[in-house]
């Protein structure tokens, strides 16, 4: 592996954070999450930022976060919010791994988790599933286009996903 960051992108609930944690266990990398960085900066949950300050404000924080990541993060795994892939400088931050799954499998994964309710509740853009499906359909080719590596994660096993990512990176 070289000194680049690894950026995990993909739709809400696909398992970016979970797979980042599995990657940390299997490598020397440390990981950060862009939503966590934004929440700690604002001292507010993403849901509350959307509600009180609006989505455009959240996107402006994502942009700041992306610029900060480019300048300050090295040799790390960066898991991102589902819309972070739109950041203009994303290619400059590191190698982009798109975690790919169908909309149905993503929902299945969320619903079968012990804290499914919490996972749905904390994501404002998943509150209306018809709208969420529209966002998914709009984004899939964009995710593919920006990705350096595409990893299918439909079987919902974070350890296999992490292994597949490490294998792809070592090629």
98 touching ligand S3P, by CB under 6 A:
no
Locus of tokens 């012990």: 114
Instruction: Say how far apart CA 6 and CA 149 lie, in whole Å.
Output: 10
**Nearest Cα to Cα of residue 19 among 165, 170, 120, 167:** 165
Binders in 19-48 for ligand S3P, by CB under 6 A: 35, 46
* 83 or 109: CB nearest ligand S3P: 83
81 touching ligand S3P, by CB under 6 A:
yes
Closest separation in Å from C-beta 160 to ligand S3P: 20
Closest separation in Å from C-beta 13 to ligand S3P: 6
Instruction: Say how far apart CA 14 and CA 35 lie, in whole Å.
Output: 15
* 123 or 165: CB nearest ligand S3P: 123
SS3 42: helix
Closest separation in Å from C-beta 162 to ligand S3P: 17
* 35 or 171: CB nearest ligand S3P: 35
Locus of tokens 């792809």: 168
Binders in 100-159 for ligand S3P, by CB under 6 A: 123-125
Tokens of 30: 């440390």
* 28 or 141: CB nearest ligand S3P: 141
* 12 or 165: CB nearest ligand S3P: 12
83 touching ligand S3P, by CB under 6 A:
yes
What are the residues facing 150 on neighbouring strands? 98
By the 8 A CB rule, do 107 and 113 touch?
no
The Cα-based distances of 168 to 96, 153, 154, 155 in angstroms read 12, 14, 17, 18
What are the residues facing 97 on neighbouring strands? 8, 149
Chain residues binding ligand S3P by CB under 6 A are: 12-13, 16, 35, 46, 81-83, 123-125
């Amino acid at each position: 592996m070289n000194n680049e960051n690894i950026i995990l992108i993909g739709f809400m609930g696909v398992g970016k954070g979970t797979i980042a944690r599995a990657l940390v266990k299997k490598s020397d990398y440390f990981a950060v999450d862009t939503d966590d960085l934004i929440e700690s900066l604002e001292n507010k949950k993403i849901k509350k930022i959307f509600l009180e300050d609006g989505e455009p404000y959240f996107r402006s924080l994502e942009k700041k976060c992306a610029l900060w990541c480019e300048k300050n993060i090295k040799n790390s795994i960066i898991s991102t919010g589902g819309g972070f892939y739109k950041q203009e400088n994303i290619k400059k931050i590191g190698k982009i791994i798109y975690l790919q799954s169908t909309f149905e499998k993503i929902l299945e994964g969320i619903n079968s988790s012990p804290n499914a309710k919490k996972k749905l509740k904390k994501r404002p853009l998943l509150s209306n599933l018809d709208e969420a499906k529209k966002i998914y359909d709009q984004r899939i080719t964009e995710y593919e286009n920006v990705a350096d590596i595409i990893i299918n994660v439909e079987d919902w096993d974070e350890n296999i996903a992490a292994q597949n990512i490490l294998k792809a990176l070592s090629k």
